[in-house]
Amino acid sequence: MDILSNLKYAKGSRKKKKRIGRGQGSGYGGTSTKGHKGAKSRAGYKNRAWFEGGQMPLQRRIPKFGFKNINRIEYNILNVGNLQQLIDGGKIKETDLNLEYFFNKRILKDKRSPLKILGNGELKSKIEVSANSFSKTAKEKIEKLGGKALVV
Render pLDDT for 102-150 as a digit per residue (tens, 0 to 9). Answer: 999 999 999 999 999 999 999 999 999 999 999 999 999 999 999 999 9
Cβ proximity of 14 and 1 under 8 Å: no
CA angle at residue 109 from 133 to 87, to 5 degrees?
70
Dihedral over Cα of 34, 35, 40, 44: its sign: positive
CA distance 111 to 105: 12
**Among residues 104, 122, 107, 121, which one has the least CA distance to residue 76?**
107
CATH fold of 76-151 reads: Ribosomal Protein L15; Chain: K; domain 2 (3.100.10)
**Beta partners for residue 128, in sequence order:** 96, 148
Q: Quick one: DSSP state of residue 28?
A: S
CA distance 118 to 128: 15
Render pLDDT for 26-79 as a digit per residue (tens, 0 to 9). Answer: 899 999 999 999 988 999 999 888 889 899 999 899 988 888 899 999 999 999
pTM score > 0.85 for this model? Answer: no
3 state DSSP class of 126: coil
Question: Could you tell me which residues come within 8 angstroms of residue 89 by beta carbon, excluding any fewer than 6 positions away?
Answer: none
Render pLDDT for 81-91 as a digit per residue (tens, 0 to 9). Answer: 999 999 999 99
